[in-house]
């Protein structure tokens, strides 16, 4: 199993024996299939599993080129990927989306704060370490590509889909930390992906639902959105993922219609390949997303994305239609065989560099020894602590908490996994000598539940309100429910209140008068333990990587206990 740094990428026209021999054996349909990556879940690889049997059929008979691993445990993911590799005549290239560590997808994987939390730490060393741990855990499972990091510049507070997935709104910060994470992954044998090209940060539309529009000209795009991609390419990033966004400011380049960047040769070839000099693998964002499906359909979307400059067609809604469409486009002369061979050769060359032709399998017995390492736990604990940002504390809640152990009320609100929000925080505070009482609210909570939460808050002089509102795909917006705003406002007027965001930092814009505000970025146990430590007197050293309207600029952060 390859775990070291990659050798320099070979020139594409070099004659690599195993690559050329494999390419010669592939039929036209096989070549088209090598472009396809399909989603695979973590269910058992058994004969009774219809979805798995369909995957086996596509791998065996259509010779699909790659897979995208979804939610699973490490052991189940490793077993399923090994089984599918056994069925494949050409080794499969396997990817997964590990934006916040392998714990982002794998139950039992190492989880980190979101990228924006890493941005709050400002630490390239932590970003590199995060990339390294992702690589070590991913490669132990037989995964070769991480679809991370997100290097979009989130300069729109209303962005409903990027938000805390970005390192921040400062292009230089995003470039530094993105490049560091890329080096951490690729130095340890995992291909990293810079996404979403040419930049998805300044949108108000979720591309899972519709086509977002970024109305910037070339000068604006080059000075903000493209900076992190330049840094990623300079760092040697192996993969770039396209964005399903429209760029009317570049219409003179794209022919005048509102087409997504994924379908524009002027963007993926003209800008990415020719202007920025990227020579690696270009992968589309998922082709089952509303930003492309509505306008093109599964067959034409595949052809247009390939013509634009993509090498890998990610998760088309109908993979067989996509394969057949590429075949027909070659037969009709829309796609040249030279162009198809160029992408297939690029894919096969990466498989060869990863050592997959020699041995596509990994030792399953080693999985447990890689996951759960103490060094990984220490790294994510440090990241969680350094991500915390104290934005406000006008009522001196932290001083009151730290003066003596206190009774306190904790009300939590979560849009997803609401029952787990604040659980680790409360337990850790109790372990530290506090006496917390907790009430949980969820996205569907009725007014009677809010009334109960209000009564709990009224019963204590120190109140913590812990909220997890974050970007969720296919929801289409970020918003704070009005009953929650009222609850926070009422609590703020009646006692020492500290609002904690374990999600979007922009929550403060909806309740700017709350006396205390801490951003923790993500509702994972690591962050909640760090928060409990901070409430008990541990240093708080993070700085905002974004502006929070109306009053808190990039770089703001009240420092407590920080070393001079």
Q: Which two tokens stand for residue 297?
A: 């359909």
Do 237 and 144 sit in the same domain of this protein? yes
Does the residue 108 lie in any domain?
Answer: yes
Give yes or no for residue 12 having a pLDDT over 50. Answer: no
Do 39 and 138 sit in the same domain of this protein? yes
Residue 133 is part of which domain span? 17-368
Give yes or no for residue 532 having a pLDDT over 90. Answer: yes
Give yes or no for residue 211 having a pLDDT over 70. Answer: yes
Do 165 and 308 sit in the same domain of this protein? yes
Do 100 and 218 sit in the same domain of this protein? yes
- What pLDDT score was predicted for residue 293? 65
Q: Specify the CATH number for the domain of residue 29.
A: 3.20.20.300
Give yes or no for residue 473 having a pLDDT over 60. Answer: no
- What pLDDT score was predicted for residue 475? 45
Does the residue 5 lie in any domain?
Answer: no
Do 308 and 395 sit in the same domain of this protein? no
- What pLDDT score was predicted for residue 291? 59
Question: Over the stretch 273-298, which tens digit does the pLDDT of each residue have?
Answer: 999 999 999 999 999 876 576 678 88
Question: Over the stretch 350-366, which tens digit does the pLDDT of each residue have?
Answer: 999 999 999 999 999 99
Does the residue 223 lie in any domain?
Answer: yes
Give yes or no for residue 184 having a pLDDT over 80. Answer: yes
Q: Which residues of 219-249 are buried (b: 16+ CB within 10 A; e: fewer)?
A: eebbebbbbbbbbbbebbbbbbbbbbbbbeb
- 141 contact partners, CB below 8 Å, separation of at least 6: 69, 74, 77, 78, 81, 106, 362, 367
Q: Do 150 and 165 meet the contact criterion of CB atoms below 8 Å apart?
A: yes
Assess whether 285 carries a catalytic annotation: yes
- What pLDDT score was predicted for residue 1? 36
Does the residue 469 lie in any domain?
Answer: yes
Percent of the chain whose pLDDT exceeds 90: 76
Confidence of residue 161 (pLDDT cuts 50, 70, 90): confident
Residue at a domain's end among 318, 337, 368: 368
Does the residue 432 lie in any domain?
Answer: yes
Q: Report the distance separating Cα 202 and Cα 152, nearest Å.
A: 9
Do 208 and 318 sit in the same domain of this protein? yes
Average pLDDT over residues 17-33: 96
Q: Report the distance separating Cα 160 and Cα 144, nearest Å.
A: 29
Q: Do 148 and 141 meet the contact criterion of CB atoms below 8 Å apart?
A: no
Do 294 and 228 sit in the same domain of this protein? yes
Question: Over the stretch 79-100, which tens digit does the pLDDT of each residue have?
Answer: 999 999 999 999 999 999 999 9
What is the tally of structural domains in the chain? 2
Confidence of residue 441 (pLDDT cuts 50, 70, 90): very high
Do 341 and 443 sit in the same domain of this protein? no
Q: Specify the CATH number for the domain of residue 434.
A: 3.40.50.1700
Catalytic choice (30, 152, 285, 352): 285
Does the residue 550 lie in any domain?
Answer: no
Q: What pTM value is reported for the model?
A: 0.93
38-52, 107-121, 300-314: least confident range: 38-52
Region of residue 328 (left: phi > 0; alpha: psi -120 to 50; beta: else): alpha
Tell how strand 389-393 and strand 516-519 pair up. antiparallel
Does the residue 7 lie in any domain?
Answer: no
**Residue entry with tokens 């009430």:** 439
Does the residue 509 lie in any domain?
Answer: yes
Average pLDDT, the chain: 90
Do 121 and 55 sit in the same domain of this protein? yes
Confidence of residue 16 (pLDDT cuts 50, 70, 90): confident
């Amino acid at each position: 199993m390859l775990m070291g740094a990659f050798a320099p990428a070979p020139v594409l026209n070099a004659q690599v024996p195993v690559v050329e021999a494999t390419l010669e054996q592939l039929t036209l349909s096989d070549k088209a299939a090598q472009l396809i990556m399909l989603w695979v879940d973590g269910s058992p690889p058994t004969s009774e599993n219809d979805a798995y049997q369909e995957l086996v059929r596509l791998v065996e008979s259509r010779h699909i080129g790659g897979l995208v691993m979804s939610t699973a445990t490490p052991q189940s993911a490793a077993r399923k990927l090994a089984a599918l590799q056994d069925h494949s005549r050409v080794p499969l290239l396997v990817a997964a989306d590990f934006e916040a560590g392998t714990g982002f997808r794998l139950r039992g994987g190492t989880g980190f704060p979101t990228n924006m939390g890493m941005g709050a730490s400002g630490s390239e060393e932590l970003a590199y370490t995060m990339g390294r741990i992702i690589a070590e855990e991913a490669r132990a499972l037989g995964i070769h590509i991480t679809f991370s990091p997100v290097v979009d510049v989130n300069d729109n507070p209303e962005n409903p889909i990027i938000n805390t997935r970005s390192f921040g709104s400062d292009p230089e910060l995003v470039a530094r930390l993105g490049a560091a994470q890329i080096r951490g992954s690729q130095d340890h044998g995992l291909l990293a992906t810079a996404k979403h090209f040419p930049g998805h940060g300044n949108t108000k539309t979720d591309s899972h639902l519709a086509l977002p529009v970024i109305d910037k000209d070339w000068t604006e795009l080059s000075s903000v959105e493209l900076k992190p991609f330049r840094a990623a390419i300079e760092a040697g990033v192996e993969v770039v993922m396209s964005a399903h966004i429209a760029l009317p400011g570049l219409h003179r380049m794209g022919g005048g219609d509102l087409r997504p960047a994924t379908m524009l040769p002027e963007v993926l070839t003209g800008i990415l390949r020719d202007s920025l000099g990227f020579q690696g693998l270009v992968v589309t964002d998922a082709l089952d997303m509303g930003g492309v499906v509505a306008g093109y359909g599964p067959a034409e979307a595949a052809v247009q994305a390939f013509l634009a400059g993509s090498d890998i067609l990610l998760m088309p809604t109908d993979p067989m239609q996509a394969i057949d469409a590429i075949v027909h486009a070659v037969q009709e002369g829309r796609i040249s065989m030279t162009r198809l061979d160029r992408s297939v050769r690029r894919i096969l060359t990466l498989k060869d560099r990863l050592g997959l032709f020699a041995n596509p399998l990994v030792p399953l017995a080693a999985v447990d020894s890689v996951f759960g390492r103490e060094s990984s736990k220490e790294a994510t604990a440090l990241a969680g602590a350094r991500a915390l940002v104290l934005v406000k504390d006008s009522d001196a809640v932290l001083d009151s908490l730290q003066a003596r152990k206190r009774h306190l009320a904790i009300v939590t609100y979560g849009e997803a996994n609401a029952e787990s929000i604040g659980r680790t925080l409360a337990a850790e505070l109790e372990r530290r000598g506090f006496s917390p009482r907790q009430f949980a609210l969820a996205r569907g909570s009725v007014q009677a539940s809010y009334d109960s939460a209000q009564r709990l808050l009224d019963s204590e002089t120190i109140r913590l309100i812990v909220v997890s509102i974050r970007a969720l795909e296919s929801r289409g917006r970020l918003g704070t429910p009005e009953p929650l705003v009222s609850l926070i406002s009422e609590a703020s007027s009646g006692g020492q209140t500290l609002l904690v965001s374990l999600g979007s930092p922009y929550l403060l814009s909806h309740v700017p008068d709350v006396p205390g505000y801490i951003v923790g970025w993500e509702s994972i146990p690591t962050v909640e333990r760090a928060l409990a430590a901070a409430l008990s007197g541990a240093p708080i050293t993070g700085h905002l990587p974004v502006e929070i309207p109306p009053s808190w600029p990039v770089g703001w952060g009240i420092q407590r206990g920080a070393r001079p």
